Amino acid sequence: MSDFINKLYKNQALFYKVFLYVLTAVLIVYLLPKGGKFKYDIPKGKPWQYENLYAPFDFAILKSDEELKEERNEIKNSHIPYYSYDTLVPSKVKKEALQQVQNVFADSILKSYQKIIDNFVTKTIDKIYEHGLLQESNRLEPDQLVYLLKGNEASEVSYKKIMKQGEVRSFITHEIEAAGFTSFKTELLEVFFNSIEPNVTFNSELTQKDLQSKLDDISYTRGIIEQGSRIIAKGEVVEGNKYNILRSLKAEYESQVWSKSNYNWIIVGYSTLVALALLMLLLFMRKYRPNIFENNVKVTFIFFNIIFMVMLTTLVVNFNIQYVYVVPLCILPLTLKAFFDARLGLFTHVLTVLLLGFIVPNSYEYMFLQIIAGIVTILTVSELYKRANLFISVGQITLVYIISYFAFTIIQEGEIQDVKIEVFLTFLLGGLATLFVQPLIYVYEKIFGMVSDMSLLELSDTNSKLLKELAEKAPGTFHHSLNVANLAEAAANEINANAMLSRVGALYHDIGKMQNPTYFTENQTTSVNSHDELSPRESAQIIIDHVIKGIEIAKKNNLPDRVIDFIRTHHGTTTVYYFYRKEKEANDNTSSLDFRYPGPIPFSKETAILMMCDSVEAASKSLKEPTSVLIDNFVEKIINKQMEEGQFLNSNITFKEIQMVKKILKRKLKNIYHLRIEYPE
């Protein structure tokens, strides 16, 4: 049992990867559509390349988007609006008008004409409210039919029959003149205008409800294809009705309610393909990126980004398929390139696009556009911390999307008129969304504890709190670190290593010397040497401890692990030779192990570069009268000694690259000492 537990403990990293692999595959399969996948591509405007196709089952022919749009517009244009008629207003107005007659007309007139006037007013009001009085101006055509709703009954009337408030004065004037009441015109107008009010209003709620009901009743199909009917023959051009029938068959095939047995087989198929794609990614990392494969945090980060992109695309497709290109898929290679390298970023991007091909329609077009955009992203984006580079890259990505879509549309439709401008807008939105990569990288750094070039740029600022403290407490060490940073950056550029990381690592590699600055020669400003009062062992221990103290200070100030690696490895397992030799002279039995740095030795090109640059720069201060030949021999001697001690065995740096670093260091030191070429006498 204990052996099993020990074995389990030793292989916990592998078990975690297996768990992560299975979990990622399950989540992706869960997000994929579970219908059947239509096995034919539908090449619009091209000959049918497959064998004769017969209907496998009965299905309805779907109407095209243009047909549905035309049908909706026709319903909207022919739709009859509803107007509500208030039946209480006419009787109220009559009562008010008869009262106004009593108030407006003189008693002498009323004695002779009251009954005639009352009858005229009543009849005129009946005419005005026959179809109602509407306050609005003419918003419809005169012959437009409307539904006039009186209580629960709706009658169909012409819009022009409903009197508008602007027509009331002319109508009343005409009625007065026709009845021969011209002498009472002023009084009658006053009676009507003091009592009349609108009683018809536009019923927007009922109108909209009725319109929506008719729109909802639109049939999305026309006609039926019976099982066994020939749909298309080999060589026939896929266009017009043939294209609509094939599109309908595909939609019906993918939306069928599958039996439990079929459903399970579909899940097995999806699981196999997804698992295979993810396995290829793991094998790629294991073979070509072993340092990433061994780091579970980095593997988790990569798988998380794949799940995130699949989930985001699924949400957008379910919301509205037209916005599928708004998803900034190029964020994936951008992010992976920022944290790792371009090759891994492109490989992961391609596998993710292949998985998304199960989700989106027109999968070939989608995959082509996204893979091309991913390649452009990898080729164009360099030094992501420079904002201009990101904007330029986003512009290029958007342009490639637009050109590729334009070409696909011409191939499929055969003419430029069918290019949809709104799709170009989705590409622009997707490009703008890609700019979100910078804050996203910052979030990833905080969550996963990784470091990108943007963070390295911030750390390289010599006005940062930690570097300012180093400059105040140990000015000589700070100056030494600046020189080493310049050398390391130049060497890294020469062998295509990470120059920014090398520079930042060099700036912070000696921060441990802040604890006891005067015990290091570069900070001694007087002839008094602090080591004179200590034994060689004590002095050596103080020198060695600056690595341990540097790691403590770095962790306290939340420096990234990649930067702490430089502090930990910049002396490797070398010996503090000066104090070892001094102790050896006093005690011949002294072991060099007591004077050796704890290590580890450098395990990357960048940390190996720092070890070389640090040793050469520090030792160069001992040169009294440097010459070109002396510097060449000096650099060769120091780096060759490090190679003999096996300090670069774990770093993936080649002999050729070491020679290139030597060449850079020699040239830089000669520039520092302002040496000229020595000519023979």
Quick one: which H or E segment has residue 279? helix 260-288
Check: pTM over 0.75? Answer yes or no.
no
| 545, 569 Cβ separation under 8 angstroms | no
The answer to whether 202 and 81 are in contact (CB under 8 A) is yes
Task: Let me know: does 544 contact 598? Beta carbons within 8 Å.
Answer: yes
Interstrand relation of 82-85 and 145-150 (parallel, antiparallel or unpaired): parallel
pLDDT of 127 higher than 60: yes
Q: How far is CA 46 from CA 49, 268, 411, in A?
A: 9, 34, 9
Taking only the tens place, the pLDDT of each residue in 36-93 is 566 666 777 777 777 778 777 777 877 777 788 888 898 888 888 999 998 888 889 8
| pLDDT tens-digit readout, 542-582 | 888 999 999 999 999 988 888 999 999 999 998 887 787 88
Residue with tokens 């299905």: 59
- Supply the pLDDT for residue 413: 64
Each residue of 234-271: pLDDT tens digit? Answer: 777 777 778 787 777 777 766 664 555 567 777 888 89
Q: Which residue has the tokens 């009725």?
A: 210
CA–CA separation, 462 and 504 (whole Å): 10
**pLDDT tens digits along 637-671:** 999 999 999 999 988 899 999 999 999 999 988 88
The residue among 530, 569, 519 whose CA lies nearest residue 548 is 569
pLDDT tens per residue, range 1-50: 566 566 656 678 888 999 999 999 999 998 887 665 666 667 777 777 77
Query: Could you report the per-residue pLDDT of 391-446, keeping only the tens digit for each?
Result: 788 888 888 888 888 887 777 666 666 667 777 888 888 888 888 888 888 888 88
CATH numbers and ranges of domains, the chain: 2-35+260-448 (no CATH), 82-202 (no CATH), 465-672 (1.10.3210)
Q: Which of 148, 151, 165 is nearest to 88 (CA)?
A: 151
* Percentage of the residues of the chain whose pLDDT score is greater than 70: 92
Name the nearest CA neighbour of 478 among 440, 536, 523, 537. 523
